[in-house]
Amino acid sequence: MKRFVEGTDRGQSTLFPECLEDWIDEDNPVRAIDVFVDELDLAKLGFDGVAPEVTGRPAYHPSVLLKLYIYGYLNRVQSSRRLEREALRNVEVMWLSGRLVPDHKTIADFRKDNGRAIRQVCGRFVELCRAMGLLTEASVAIDGSKFKAVNNRDRNFTRAKMDRRMAQIEESVARYLQQLDTADRQEPSEALKTKTSRLKDKIAKLKEQMQNLKKLQMLAAPDQQISLTDPDARSMATSGRGSGVVGYNVQVAVETKHHLIIAHEVINEGSDRAQLSPMAKAAKATLGVEKLDAVADRGYFSGEEILACDSAGITVTLPKPMTSGMLARGRFGKQDFRYMADEDVYICPAGETLPYRYTNEEDGLILRRYWTNTCQSCAIKKNCTSGKERRITRWEHEHVLEAVQRRLDEHPEKMRQRRETVEHPFGTIKARMGATHFLMKTLPRVASEMALHVLAYNMTRVMSIMGVRPLMAAIRAT
């Protein structure tokens, strides 16, 4: 093989360097992991096994297993069995763990039993970022994304899905019974006997499935949904038409300058509507600021949530979803009516005045009603309403929602900023997760796994922004 780069003979004896330190350069990320974990007070964070037992077999120190997991999530190796293999063959892991090779059961149990402490570690790194001056912008983007759970769609049942499945089973049973009746009227034969036996087996299996479904209906959760593999996973709609996923809804607040995740939460509710104020308040507390700017998409629009943010000193910007059917029918929407605060009246597109009429309460909201009696003679009534008159409803805190719309009109670029800020972390994390997303079951354990993903993402971002050596120096200094 002339004129090619040639390797050495596999039988050639070679000597590794005398110490593993020679294999790990000064800018290797494993050095940052090592320093970060060594500087943590693991006992204060709540890790089990920090103080060794007096009797019994010696255990692995929690710092060894925590370093192993952080390295794994940084390098797309989340499985405990794969981490065990890495400890046997990966020089970086050998250096990080001191050539210790925990078995996969020990590795898996550490993640399972120390979920709360692992989430604390993720929060500790965000505090470190703040101390290093990386979180100086009091501005965040909030968004949610659906992540797949360890639960196949066929193992998740909603009320509608169970009703459809029961109807299918009943239809199949009736069809097989009809085939049995047809077989009974035919001349006996070996083939007919085999067919009859097969049909009876199918009917027995279908009846068993029907009984199982009836038991599931009795065990159904209050939200009329049940998952058999991961009991906390829920079927959720995604952005694709007619698509969905059985999994969890991950909420994040990402600061707009360096795209670091400063707050996150894992929930099993498909809607984002009630998550705006909790995520914004968590981000505000993490940043330690008096005022915060937050931007979100229209899925978060809720009058009560926006009011809660306004009361907490959080300025939110988000579009209002156009849920009214007026525009679809070619009629004027509420936005076409102009409110005059000084006179407490609305001006309609025809120039008529809609005075205040009365106040009532619906679903805990105080609503004011406005209308005029001149609609019957209006020339453009057909473009406004098909009723006797057009009525406008105004919430008592409508001015807060109007301020949100004004901010959006003045700064439409905020929506582009939101997309550029918050879609990036989700894309990166999902690419690292691979096709399966979460590996653990139940909400608390999934939350622990997500904390490791967020920690790995934030560490990658910080090392990209400032480098490994400056990060190590900053960790030691704090």
Task: Give the residue among 366, 253, 230 at the shortest CA–CA distance from 303.
Answer: 366
What is the DSSP code string of 64-77?
Answer: HHHHHHHHHHHTT-
pLDDT score, position 363: 85
Q: How confident is the model at residue 324 (pLDDT cuts 50, 70, 90)?
A: low
Burial class (CB in 10 A: 0-12, 13-18, 19+), 21: exposed
The pLDDT tens digits for 234-260 are 988 877 666 688 999 999 999 999 999
Q: Are strands 139-148 and 234-237 parallel, antiparallel or unpaired?
A: unpaired
Q: Where do the domains of the chain lie? A: 20-113, 139-150+234-321+407-449, 153-227, 334-395
The pLDDT tens digits for 256-277 are 999 999 999 999 998 899 999 9
Average pLDDT estimate for 156-169: 77
Question: For the whole model, what pTM was predicted?
Answer: 0.86
Q: 138 and 291 in contact (C-beta within 8 Å)?
A: yes
Take residue 451 and report the two structure tokens written for it.
Answer: 């904390």
- Range of weakest confidence among 44-53, 74-83, 198-207: 198-207
pLDDT score, position 8: 75
Candidate CATH numbers 3.20.20.70, 3.30.420.10, 3.90.550.10, 1.10.3470.10; the one for domain 139-150+234-321+407-449: 3.30.420.10
Question: How far is it, in rounded angstroms, from Cα 346 to Cα 343?
Answer: 9
Q: Is residue 35 predicted with pLDDT exceeding 90?
A: yes
Question: How far is it, in rounded angstroms, from Cα 458 to Cα 286?
Answer: 15
Q: Is residue 38 predicted with pLDDT exceeding 60?
A: yes
Of residues 388 and 323, more confidence is placed in: 388
Q: 460 and 78 in contact (C-beta within 8 Å)?
A: no
The pLDDT tens digits for 404-417 are 999 999 999 999 99
Average pLDDT estimate for 169-176: 79
Average pLDDT over the chain, rounded to an integer: 88
Q: How confident is the model at residue 326 (pLDDT cuts 50, 70, 90)?
A: low
What is the DSSP code string of 281-347?
Answer: HHHHHHHT-S-EEEE--GGG--HHHHHHHHHTTEEEE-PPP---STTTTT---GGGSEEETTTTEEE
